Amino acid sequence: MNPSALSDVDLNAYADRQLAPERAGEVEAALAADPALAARVAGIRAQSAALRDALDPMLAEPIPPWLLAAATPPSTRAATAALAPRWRWPALAAAATLVLGVAVGWFGRDAMIERAGTPTTFARQAAFAHALYAVDARRPVEVWAAEEKGLVTWLTKRLGVPVTAPDLNGVGYALVGGRLVAGNEKPTALIMYENADKQRLTLQVRKEAPDAGETAFHYAVENGVGVFYWIDDSCGYALSGNIDRAQLLAVARVVYGQLAARGAR
Amino acid sequence: MPPPASDAAALPHPELVAAIPRLRRYARVLTGDASRADDLVQDALARAWEKRALWREGTDLRAWLFTIMHNVHVNQLALARREAGNVSLDAEGEFGAAWQVPVRGNQLDRVELLEVVAQMGRLPAEQREVLLLAAVEELRYEEIATVLGIPVGTVMSRLSRARDRLRRMATEPPVPLKVVK
């Protein structure tokens, strides 16, 4: 082909691998004949790679809670809205009258199926373990946050499923550490967090049967300890704390969002 | 022991959650400002819920959300500029002074990455947008045309201009960098 017929648009489309095969073949022949053209294409690709290198780390940033709330079906959103900077705490009053019920499917996919056989015993155990360890001022955990990497490696190994410690600093809770606790049949990982007022939350994780599916958030109160629990990706999760339901739900959504984002990568 | 009080609440939608990081990045490239970007993402997600009946199953959710966000942004600009009657994205330097797309943490030592981001900030918004969608998100030109509501030919010529300007900037003396930690 005549190289002069090769436009910038052709070179860009070739560099982006968006040309039809026969046209790409023509461009390739022209590039082989003209090192300057080949250098242009290499330059375009290098520029794209530099942009990706510069902008890709943004994808790993934690998602703020108000954006997770915006990804939640609107009718059930009141509780998390309380954490958004755009809104104020009085919204919690509205959250107290939160309408409960069947989650709304989105795009025809019902990702929030509520199933029979919900493991209420897990919630009960989680509340007991929370009550036992969260009040312990000096030895609430076996492995402290300073050794977070060792902690998650150990828990992952003992549970046989990937365990991570979600980053809850965005909602004011710092990692304290974690421990292994005895469950009904299987070991449970306990990960503890604490806010500036020394209020503690625990996230407990255990492996579920592979066909356990996915459930909505369920809420239970045991001896004054509130527990949100759910199943996702063959793991059961229980978030326990002595804080009000709306705040606990807001934190639960952050935890869920981080785990979902991790699974999506 | 009596059965515990129990109820259920909805989860964030997993596919939407998965799309949020890319929406935030696109919004930052559009607005050049992290908090305005997150406001835009929030508005776009709200709009997506309103319009969810219009999403066609089996099509790319990410591209659909980009389309919605682009339109929300253009509409917001149109409102802001109603007096001037100018609703396009092509005003150059609009966010130039405020452009602060952060390059974080361990990358601070990589000067060339900071430079390329700073240079991108000097492009008109319509070129930044095409560059992000083509070079970073690697969408097909046809998809980009749908997202932006413009002909494919316009996508290709904008992209070509954007790359050309960025290439020429790389050979000019650098401007002072604005780093957000």
Instruction: Give the residue with greater pLDDT, B132 vs B107.
Output: B132
pLDDT value for B70? 94
Q: Do A123 and B13 touch (CB under 8 A)?
A: no
pLDDT score, position A190: 96
Q: Nearest CB to A67: which of B11, B42, B117?
A: B42
**For position B84, what pLDDT does the model report?**
60
Asked whether residue A91 falls in the same domain as residue A214, the answer is yes
Q: Does A74 touch chain B (CB under 8 A)?
A: yes
Find chain A residues with C-beta within 8 A of B21's C-beta. Answer: 58-61, 63, 261
pLDDT band at B140 (very low <50, low <70, confident <90, very high): very high
pTM > 0.95: yes or no: no
pLDDT for res A182: 85
Q: For position B173, what pLDDT does the model report?
A: 61
Check whether residue A8 and residue A41 sit in a common domain: yes
φ and ψ of A194, to 5 deg: -145, 140
B151 at interface of A, judged by CB pairs closer than 8 A: no
Residues A192, A251 share a domain: yes
Tell whether B126 is covered by a domain.
Answer: yes
Among A12, A29, A59, the domain boundary falls at A59
Is B56 domain-assigned? yes
Same domain for A125 and A31, yes or no, is no
In-domain check, residue B161 = yes
Round to whole Å and give the CA distance between A140 and A256: 24
**DSSP for chain A, written as a single string:** --GGG--HHHHHHHHTT-S-HHHHHHHHHHHHH-HHHHHHHHHHHHHHHHHHHHHGGGGGSPPPHHHHHHTS-GGG-HHHHTT-TTS-TTHHHHHHT----PPPPBTTB-TT---SS--HHHHHHHHHHHHHHHT-SS-S-SEEGGGHHHHHHHHHHHHTS-------GGGT-EEEEEEEE--SSS-EEEEEEE-TT--EEEEEEEE--TT-----EEEEEETTEEEEEEEETTEEEEEEESS-HHHHHHHHHHHHHHHHHHHH-
> What is the extent of the structural domain holding A17?
3-59
Cα A143 to Cα A126: distance, rounded to the nearest angstrom: 19
**Is B105's pLDDT higher than 70?**
no
Is B73:B42 a contact under the CB 8 Å cutoff? no
Q: Are residues A55 and A158 in the same domain?
A: no
* Together in a domain, A231 and A153: yes
From B73's Cα to the closest Cα of chain A, the distance in A is 17
Q: Cβ B9–A100 below 8 Å, yes or no?
A: yes
Structure tokens at A128: 């007991």
**How many other C-beta atoms can be found within 10 angstroms of the C-beta atom of residue A58?**
20
Q: What is the pLDDT along chain A (265 residues), one digit of tens a residue?
A: 454 568 889 999 999 999 989 999 999 999 999 999 999 999 999 999 989 988 988 888 888 888 888 888 776 554 444 444 433 333 333 333 232 222 232 332 233 333 333 445 788 889 888 988 998 888 899 999 999 999 999 999 999 888 999 999 989 999 999 999 987 678 899 999 999 988 999 999 998 887 777 777 888 888 788 999 888 878 889 999 999 888 898 899 889 888 877 765 4
Instruction: Tell me the pLDDT tens digit for each residue of B11-57.
Output: 777 788 889 999 999 999 998 888 889 999 999 999 998 888 777 77
Of A59, A80, A99, the position where a domain reaches its end is: A59
Question: What is the structure's pLDDT at B34?
Answer: 84
Q: Where in chain B does DSSP place strands (E)?
A: 7-9
Same-domain pairing of A49 and A73: no
Interchain CB distance below 8 Å, A216 and B10: yes
pLDDT band at B176 (very low <50, low <70, confident <90, very high): low
| Domain match, A27 and A84 both | no
> Residues B177, B115: contact at Cβ < 8 Å?
yes
pLDDT at A264: 54
What ipTM, to 2 d.p.?
0.81
Is B157 a domain residue? yes
* In a domain? residue B94: yes
Q: Which CATH number belongs to the domain containing residue A207 in this structure?
A: 3.30.200.100
| B144 is a domain residue | yes
How many domains is chain B built from? 1
Report CB contact under 8 Å: A68, B159. no
CA neighbours within 13 Å on the CB side: how many for A237?
32
Please say which residue of A59, A81, A105 terminates a domain: A59
Give the residue numbers spanning the domain of B102: 14-171
Find residues 14-33 of chain A whose CB sits inside 8 Å of chain B: 16, 18
Q: Do B6 and A219 touch (CB under 8 A)?
A: yes
Lowest mean pLDDT across A81-90, B112-121, B151-160, B161-170 = A81-90
Per-residue confidence band for B2, with pLDDT thresholds at 50, 70 and 90: very low
- A117 and A17 inside one domain: no
Task: Assess whether A128 and A192 both reside in one domain.
Answer: yes
With CA atoms as reference, the chain B residue closest to A125 would be B4
A239 touches chain B (CB under 8 A): no
Stretch 90-149 of chain B: residues touching chain A, C-beta under 8 Å: 101-105, 107, 110, 112-114, 116-117, 120, 131-132, 134-136, 138, 140-141
Pair (A218, A258) in one structural domain: yes
**pLDDT for the residue numbered A245:** 87
Q: What percent of chain B has pLDDT over 90?
A: 41
A77 vs B38: CA distance, rounded Å: 18
Amino acid at B60: D
Residue B83: what pLDDT? 55
Q: What is the CATH number of the domain that holds B89?
A: 1.20.140.160
pLDDT of residue B27: 94
φ, ψ for residue B92, nearest 5 deg: -80, 145
- B173 interfaces chain A, CB cutoff of 8 Å: no
Which pLDDT score, from 0 to 100, does residue A150 have? 92
Nearest to B10 among A60, A76, A257 (CB): A76
The reply to whether A50 touches chain B by the CB within 8 Å rule is yes
Regarding whether A94 and A14 lie in a shared domain, the answer is no
Residues B138 and A13: their CA atoms lie apart, in Å, by 11
Kindly give the interhelix angle for B34-50 and B61-80, rounded to the nearest 10 degrees: 110
Split into its structural domains, chain A has a count of 2
Q: Is residue B23 part of a domain?
A: yes
Cβ-defined contact of B42 to A260 (cutoff 8 Å): no
Q: Which residues of A fall within a CB distance of 8 Å from B135? A: 16, 47-48, 51-52
